Amino acid sequence: MTNILHVTASIRSDESVSRKLGNRLVERLRDRTGANVTLRDLANNDLPLIDTDRFAANLTPVAERGEQARQLAAIGDDLIAELHAADTLVLSLPVYNFTMPSTLKAWADLVARAGTTFRYTESGPQGLLTGKKAYALIASGGTPIGSEIDFLTPWLRHFLKFIGITDLEIIAADGISGVDGEEKIAAALNAVDALEPRAVAA
């Protein structure tokens, strides 16, 4: 049995195009592999921002944490456990103001933990979440994905590589606020259907 972690971030709930694309892919993966699916909806989880105390708690070994540190580190522990358990990561992401939703950045700050999801070596940082497959389903109203004003996808590729996830496929419905928006959404859905999706064998 394989495990899929589906991370969503749109504030638009059922109207979200990125959710629609991600749900379509997750359904195909689940039908094909019988995978378990964990949903992490960042828009509804009120993730905390990293501050000095939470940063220190995250880096404190579990056996050495006091009660306050355990409470502060708990959400990061949960998010990292979801990533460790997942063979396949599906990210449903809107573009807000040329880049990621702030909730995705909060998630990234909580899961990027030295010694747990990456480590420092003499040759530089080394990601520890290797062997996973990632898909990003992205929707934007006006930002062309891959253009010089797209600050989401370069960051996303770099961040996932930083924590060890190098196998990433991106499907985007961009410019959907234009007159041909419905056609672009349909094309992105067709691109999802044309994938040969796989959930990495456990």
Which tokens hold the place of 177? 């606020």
Residue 140 known to bind ligand: no
- Rounded CA gap, 99 and 121, in Å? 30
Residue 37 known to bind ligand: no
Distance in Å from the first CA to the final CA of the chain: 7
- Rounded CA gap, 56 and 53, in Å? 5
**Sequence-separated (6 or more) residues with CB below 8 Å from residue 155:** 99, 100
Q: Answer yes or no: are the C-beta atoms of 60 and 69 closer than 8 Å.
A: yes
Q: Answer yes or no: are the C-beta atoms of 9 and 92 closer than 8 Å.
A: yes
The helix (H) or strand (E) run that includes residue 111 is helix 102-111
Residue 10 known to bind ligand: yes
- Rounded CA gap, 91 and 114, in Å? 23
Task: Please choose, from the candidates 174, 69, 89, 94, the residue with its C-alpha nearest in 3D space to the C-alpha of residue 132.
Answer: 89
Residue 200 known to bind ligand: no
| Interstrand relation of 88-94 and 3-8 (parallel, antiparallel or unpaired) | parallel
Binding residues for FMN are 10, 16-18
Binding residues are 10, 16-18
